[in-house]
Amino acid sequence: MITSFDNRLQTLWEGCLRNDRKQQEMLYRILAPKMLAVCMRYAKDKDEAQDILQEGFIKMFKNMSNYRGEGSLEGWIRRIMVHSAISRYRKAKTMVLVDDFAEQDIMVSSSYNGNNLETNDLMGMVQELPATYRSVFNMYAIEGYSHQEISRKLGMTELLSRTTLHRARTILKNKLNTLAERESHCMAG
């Protein structure tokens, strides 16, 4: 079902194809907040997310003629943002996966109910993950990439992708459990 929002995007898109700067600015203003949220999942902080966003929009405007009208325009632009984040990761990939998080002796509590966790808190936890962990977690859990696709895009083996995802989930679980322990201590005390 095509919504009025989709029709508005299509109208703006047609203006952008004619190099109408006002239409380009309007498209940017409408989509930037949503796309920034996508970029935030891959970035370590808001500044990096904004850099990814800018790179993504530049790529989008340069490659506008490549959109064939198959699928949603917003989805196509979202993929460009994800690919921009992946490209940034590849350029910065000078680090080696370090298993220092798994070595930490963090007490695991199974009592966390998650009721008090805000979306921003969870986003913060994901952003604290090392870049490789964050990228694999987002690509798999949020974007729906398979381990085979992740391995191709990030230049790692499928096994490493699976292992990295497992480690990222373990780190996040431990952080949630630590948060739950703090909350229970605050409520008890």
Does the pLDDT of residue 105 top 70, yes or no? no
Residue type at 13? Answer: W
Q: How many CB atoms lie within 10 A of CB 148?
A: 10
* pLDDT digits 0-9 by tens, 20-39: 999 999 999 999 999 999 99
Q: Inform me whether the pLDDT recorded for 109 exceeds 70.
A: no
Note the pLDDT tens digit of each residue in 60-83: 999 998 888 888 889 999 999 999
Q: Does residue 16 contact residue 64 with C-beta atoms inside 8 Å?
A: yes
- Condensed to tens digits (0 to 9), the pLDDT of residues 128-163 reads 999 899 999 989 888 888 999 999 989 999 999 999
Q: Please state which architecture CATH assigns to domain 100-188.
A: Orthogonal Bundle (1.10)
Residue (of 42, 23, 114, 24) closest to 83 by Cα position:
42
CATH architecture label of 4-92: Orthogonal Bundle (1.10)
What value does the mean pLDDT of the chain take?
80
Q: What pLDDT, on the 0 to 100 scale, is given for residue 113?
A: 41
Is 79 exposed, middle or buried (CB count within 10 Å of its CB: 0-12, 13-18, 19+)? Answer: middle
Share above pLDDT 70 across residues of the chain, in percent, rounded to a whole number: 81
pLDDT of the residue at 94: 38
Residue ranges per structural domain of the chain: 4-92, 100-188
